[in-house]
């Protein structure tokens, strides 16, 4: 590279500083597929002979196999995966290799490789999310009769089936999959043929090359095509949101396996001990997943800040897109996989959950609803029940044990149905609106998820 224009080779410090092959080597499969398709384009355009094309194809496939087997050493002075592969090809097959880079630049090459890589990795992450969803559906099914207190403001609010809680996670994760599917839609156009910035005087059949590489079509502005990193920002943003979800799920798990809550028991295989305190069982997996959400947000911010000041079109800054992207892909994947394992082996402490959910005060709103059904305006009912709760507290009794004369004094209309309101089974049974947690609705939703997640 340096031999033409330059009299001196690049400083070793520059090679070290500027190289990307230590991380972009991961793109080698996509890079090689892209090169083969491009070479076929050159063949069709009459730039390569049949023999030359055959040598290139064979040479590249050999290189791919050697990289897979760990037999090829990448050289830092060749900067990146693209130059390493091209130089190795020329070393192996001679002159024909030197023709490969006709009508192509690393600018359109890298833009193509990263899109293809994301297509593959994105699909894998969708499957990993589905796997975690399946684990949550399994827990919902296993514990479908168990109630826990649901929380708002981290204060006990109303009883809910623990299944409803697990199925809430499925909804969150489903949106992540939708966002991912949407981001995948915007990497369907192939940048190859854009060259460094302004296409090429040698015109190739871009559509055919794109089709060979599994794209739906070709990009329509060569400048935008080499400058665009929106898609990297989009994937990183999808992963940051997914990480935020996993972090919230972690937080629930961490609280639930504390002695204060005691609803969840993680298996020994996914908890750690303390080096000092022999009694400890720490939920490190969940804590690490929560912690790692920080870098997912950080990677998104890196990309946005790195890109925002760049004039069109390609600038070397853009090479800085890869480490955050690869890091987020790896982080998200490892979190999803270990979470699936951890939750698949976790158990609900049914007795602790039941005991916590049985506090009658959690049905205070149901009591207000009961009064509403007897014609009391909700605001008045709310106030009456508030007074009953305060009175029960004063007397040191559970709300459901408030003496009849006290009820009579505060809300005479409540006396008759008072006992029935505190029947937990009934309280759940009547919550039949779509999205509400009656046992039938939960069963319906479990079936819906099972169907939805089949084979995904
Ligand atoms: N390694 C580079 C990157 O990832 C490839 C493109 C280099 N292009 C260039 N004109 N130096 O961005």
What does the DSSP assignment read for 197-216?
Answer: TT--SS---HHHHHHHTT-S
Pairwise CA distance, residues 111 & 229, whole Å: 8
- Closest residue CA from atom 7 of ligand 1: 106
Using the atom order of ligand 1, give the atom closest to the CA of residue 322: 4
What pTM was estimated for this model as a whole?
0.95
Task: Report pLDDT for 7.
Answer: 87
Helices (H), 282-438: 284-308, 322-344, 350-357, 364-373, 378-395, 404-410, 418-421, 424-429
Q: What are phi and psi of 190, to 5 degrees?
A: -90, 125
Q: Which residues are catalytic?
A: 153, 274
Residue 27 is classified by DSSP as G
Q: How far is the CA of 243 from the centre of ligand 1 (A)?
A: 29
Q: How far is the CA of 161 from the centre of ligand 1 (A)?
A: 54
Question: Who lines ligand 1 at CB under 6 A?
Answer: 20, 24, 80, 106-107, 110, 314, 316, 318-319
Phi-psi region of 46 (alpha: psi -120 to 50; beta: other; left: phi over 0): left
Task: Report pLDDT for 1.
Answer: 63
The domain made up of 12-102 is a member of CATH 1.10.275.10: yes
Pairwise CA distance, residues 401 & 337, whole Å: 47
Q: How far is the CA of 314 from the centre of ligand 1 (A)?
A: 8
Using the atom order of ligand 1, give the atom closest to the CA of residue 81: 1
Using the atom order of ligand 1, give the atom closest to the CA of residue 318: 12
Q: How far is the CA of 324 from the centre of ligand 1 (A)?
A: 16
CATH code reported for the domain at 107-204+220-355: 1.20.200.10
For residue 379, CA distances in Å to 76, 262, 287, 393 come to 72, 35, 42, 21
The domain made up of 359-452 is a member of CATH 3.40.50.2000: no
- In tens digits, the chain (456 residues) has pLDDT values of 667 888 888 999 999 999 999 999 999 999 999 999 999 999 999 999 999 999 999 999 999 999 999 999 999 999 999 999 999 999 999 999 999 999 999 999 999 999 999 999 999 999 999 999 999 999 999 999 999 999 999 999 999 999 999 999 999 999 999 999 999 999 999 999 999 999 999 999 999 999 999 999 999 999 999 999 999 999 999 999 999 999 999 999 999 999 999 999 999 999 988 888 888 889 999 999 999 999 999 999 999 999 999 999 999 999 999 999 999 999 999 999 999 999 999 999 999 999 999 999 999 999 999 999 999 999 999 999 999 999 999 999 999 999 999 999 999 999 998 999 999 999 999 999 999 999 999 999 999 999 999 988
**Is cis: bond before 318, omega within 30 of 0?**
no
Q: Which of 316, 324, 325 to mutate to test the pocket of ligand 1 (most atoms within 8 A of CB)?
A: 316
Task: Report pLDDT for 375.
Answer: 96
- Helix, strand or coil for residue 161? strand
The ranges assigned to domains in the chain are: 12-102, 107-204+220-355, 359-452
- Closest residue CA from atom 2 of ligand 1: 319
Q: How far is the CA of 235 from the centre of ligand 1 (A)?
A: 20
């Amino acid at each position: 590279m340096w031999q033409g224009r330059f009299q001196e080779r690049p400083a070793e410090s520059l090679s070290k500083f500027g190289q990307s092959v230590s991380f972009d080597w991961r793109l080698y499969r996509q890079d090689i597929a892209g090169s083969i398709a491009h070479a076929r384009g050159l063949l069709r355009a009459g730039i390569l002979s049949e023999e030359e094309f055959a040598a290139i194809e064979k040479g590249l496939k050999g290189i791919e196999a050697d990289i897979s087997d760990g037999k090829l050493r990448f050289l830092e002075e060749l900067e990146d995966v693209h130059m390493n592969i091209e130089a190795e090809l020329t070393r192996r097959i001679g002159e024909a290799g030197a023709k490969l880079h006709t009508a192509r630049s690393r600018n359109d090459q890298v833009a193509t490789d990263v899109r293809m890589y994301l297509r593959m990795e994105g699909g894998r992450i969708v499957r990993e999310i589905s796997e975690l969803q399946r684990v949550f559906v399994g827990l919902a099914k296993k514990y479908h009769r168990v109630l826990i207190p649901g929380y708002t403001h981290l204060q006990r609010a109303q009883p809910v089936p623990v299944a409803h809680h697990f199925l809430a996670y499925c909804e969150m994760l489903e949106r992540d999959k939708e966002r991912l599917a949407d981001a995948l839609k915007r990497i369907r156009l192939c940048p190859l043929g854009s060259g460094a910035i302004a296409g090429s005087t040698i015109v190739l059949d871009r559509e055919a090359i794109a089709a060979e590489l599994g794209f739906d079509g070709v990009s329509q502005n060569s400048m935008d095509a080499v400058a665009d990193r929106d898609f990297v920002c989009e994937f990183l943003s999808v992963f940051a949101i997914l990480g935020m979800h996993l972090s919230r799920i972690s937080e629930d798990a961490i609280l639930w396996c504390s002695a204060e809550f005691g609803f969840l028991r993680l298996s020994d295989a996914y908890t750690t001990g303390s080096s000092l305190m022999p009694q400890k069982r720490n939920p490190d997996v969940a804590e690490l997943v929560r912690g790692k959400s920080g870098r997912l947000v950080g990677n998104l911010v890196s990309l946005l800040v790195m890109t925002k000041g760049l004039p069109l079109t390609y600038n070397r800054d853009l090479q800085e897109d890869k480490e955050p992207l690869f890091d987020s892909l790896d982080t998200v994947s490892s979190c999803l996989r270990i979470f699936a394992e951890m939750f698949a082996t976790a158990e609900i402490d049914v007795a602790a959950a039941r005991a916590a959910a049985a506090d009658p005060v959690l049905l205070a709103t149901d009591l207000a609803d009961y009064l509403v059904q007897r014609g009391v305006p909700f605001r008045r009912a709310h106030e009456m029940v508030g007074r009953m709760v305060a009175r029960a507290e004063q007397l040191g009794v559970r709300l459901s044990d408030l003496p009849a004369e006290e009820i009579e004094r505060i809300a005479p209309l409540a006396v008759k149905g008072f006992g029935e309101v505190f029947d937990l089974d009934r309280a759940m049974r009547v919550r039949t609106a779509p999205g509400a947690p009656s046992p039938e609705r939960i069963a319906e939703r479990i079936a819906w998820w099972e169907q939805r997640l089949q084979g995904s």
